Amino acid sequence: MSSRPISRKKTKIKSFSRPDSAPTDKTAPDVWLTSLKNSNENTVLLKKVDQNLAYNSTSAYHRQVMAFGKTRKMPEINSPRMAAGTPLYKSKEEYYDEELRLRKEIGSLKQENSTLKTKLRRLEEDNLKKEKEIAALLDTGKNEEFRRTLTDRRSESFIVISNLKHKIMKLEAQLKAKETAYLKLKSNLKTTKVEELQVQVETLHQEIVRLQNCNSEQKFFKKESGNSTKMKALSDTVLCLNQTLEQLRNENQSLKEDLVEALENTSQNKVSKSLNQNKTNSETIKDQEDMKQHELLTVIAEQKKIIKDFEREKAVLEDYLENKPWSNVPGKIQVQGSIVEQLEQLDKQETHLLEELQNMKKLKKQMKSERNHYKKKSEEFELDCQKLQLTIKELELKLKLDNKATNSSLRHRSRTSPTSENHNSRRNSKTKHKSVENIKKLNEEKEIVSQEPQATSNEDVLKLRKNHAAKCIQKAWHQHDANKQALVIIQGTLLAHAARKKFLRQSKKELKSTRLCEEENILERSVKLIQSVVRAHYSRIKQQQIFRENLKTEQIVQR
């Protein structure tokens, strides 16, 4: 392609006319947007767009149905009103005017649509032309200027490209050499953990101390016995150990140096990768060299900081191990023997503690379930007590009413004649038989009142005998209930006493054991004690109530 600029067809459109002050770099959509901002003329007929066009285009009936139009006030006439929602009456002229107006609006919208379509078509054509130009510029085969720069050795761009190629070749060679060196180091690298070295050093130190002590003891006994052979052997072992220590230290230093070299190699590899990625950048040579130097310096500084941090952490750990702050904790179990034995002891202690923890958790769950069970029982028992109290109150009220009725009947009898007494006695006997079926306790009082000393007939004698037999049966039944309740009270007290004894025994044992679940166990045991005491108390209250009722019945019988 030729280097001439592409000739573009100038389109004369009023809406796309650029102002004098506008820059030449703007694209067609930018120009269109600026024209829209500067002018309110969006149509070909230079009409302003009506903002309430949708509102005005709808009919009054639709507005009324959608509840956002103004309802017309109808004149008050005696004729029946139209129902809500029915359309209002319009004349033919109004409908005709609306139809004309809508047709005009449709025509204007069609014209606008056609103009917008033409604008879109032109914009698409411009975009296609620009895309073709960009593709032509990117293709090196078609672009003659780019070919000239590559072929002309005198041009600056050719020199830049050749220098970059030479640098890439050198960097690739360096990268390959460093990769081979790194692989060799990996294959010949002797790695040992710092913790293992510390353990070895500690064991060696212990052996040295032991040998020194043995040496001192042997020196003390050397005066008495001239065993020089043992001393020589011990001195030889000490020398061997010292030599091994020095060898280990040298190996440690060499390993540190290898690590530093490996870290530097990795940093250089990162730098080379970053250089390979930045091949496409079209900056000058000097700027690229400056950026590479800065990157290298920053990477080296970061690696030095990391090494310093590792050395500080190592020193802190060594000081921490030497001081051993956890050794001064009170109540700690001391571990003796070699490192393997110490580890075994610690493992056993850990397993024992975990088993104890699991047992304590199980006990805790059991106690919680029992506590919830007893809580439910206590709530049910309280509800039963409340119901019984209500029934007792109702019975007391009924007894009072019956006593009043009996007193009034006795007074009435004293006033009436002896002939009417027989008639009243028969009537009272019938009412008493009915009350026996409903309430047993009230039956006793009513029948006692009916036992008069002046009973002459055989029927009265039979009734008295029956009442006496019923009273005997009731007394025996009350005694049986009292004995049963007494047994319940004794059982409750014995259970409370046994629980108290168990609590005292377990409290002595648990003082020696762990203090994890003491509060919960004490609470649950106290709950058991309280429950047993409450049961005994309720049973005692019931017994007292029964005893009072028996006393009342005996007093009524005596009367």
- Same-domain status, 297 and 184: yes
State the chain's mean pLDDT as an integer: 70
Of 326, 347, 376, the residue that ends a domain is 326
Among 22-36, 60-74, 94-108, whose mean pLDDT is lowest? 60-74
Full domain range(s) for residue 6? 1-68+91-151
Of 99, 127, 151, the residue that ends a domain is 151
- Same-domain status, 175 and 322: yes
Residue 502 has pLDDT above 60, yes or no: yes
Helical axes 440-450 vs 418-438, angle rounded to 10°: 170
- Same-domain status, 42 and 167: no
Residue 528 CB partners (closer than 8 Å, separation 6+)? 374, 499
Task: Calculate mean pLDDT across residues 192-200.
Answer: 74
Count CB neighbours of 161 within 10 A: 13
Amino acid symbol at 209: V
Q: Which residue has the higher pLDDT, 104 or 275?
A: 104
Residue 147 has pLDDT above 70, yes or no: no
Question: What is d(CA 496, CA 530) in angstroms, rounded to the nearest whole number?
Answer: 9
- Same-domain status, 261 and 147: no
Q: Is the pTM of this model over 0.85?
A: no
Q: Which residue has the higher pLDDT, 156 or 455?
A: 156
Amino acid symbol at 237: T
Number of domains in the chain: 3
Inside any domain, residue 370:
no
What backbone phi and psi angles, to 5 degrees, belong to 58? -80, 150
Question: What is d(CA 178, CA 184) in angstroms, rounded to the nearest whole number?
Answer: 10
Give me the torsion for CA of 384, 388, 394, 398, rounded to 10°.
Answer: 150
Residue 448 has pLDDT above 60, yes or no: no
Give me the torsion for CA of 363, 368, 370, 372, rounded to 10°.
Answer: 180
Inside any domain, residue 430:
no
- Same-domain status, 193 and 322: yes
Token pair of 549 as six digits = 């009722």
Token pair of 494 as six digits = 């014995």
What backbone phi and psi angles, to 5 degrees, belong to 267? -65, -40
Percentage of the chain modeled with pLDDT above 70: 55
- Same-domain status, 2 and 129: yes
Token pair of 559 as six digits = 């009367």
Among 42-51, 98-107, 327-336, whose mean pLDDT is lowest? 42-51
Residue 9 has pLDDT above 60, yes or no: no
Give me the pLDDT at residue 453, please: 43
Give me the torsion for CA of 138, 140, 142, 144, rounded to 10°.
Answer: 110
- Same-domain status, 108 and 167: no
Q: Which residue has the higher pLDDT, 480 or 515?
A: 480
- Same-domain status, 180 and 291: yes
Binned at pLDDT 50, 70 and 90, residue 423 comes out as very low
Residue 70 CB partners (closer than 8 Å, separation 6+)? 63
- Same-domain status, 128 and 173: no
- Same-domain status, 9 and 116: yes
Percentage of the chain modeled with pLDDT above 90: 8
Give me the pLDDT at residue 470, please: 77
- Same-domain status, 136 and 169: no
Token pair of 483 as six digits = 């004995």
Residue 240 has pLDDT above 90, yes or no: no
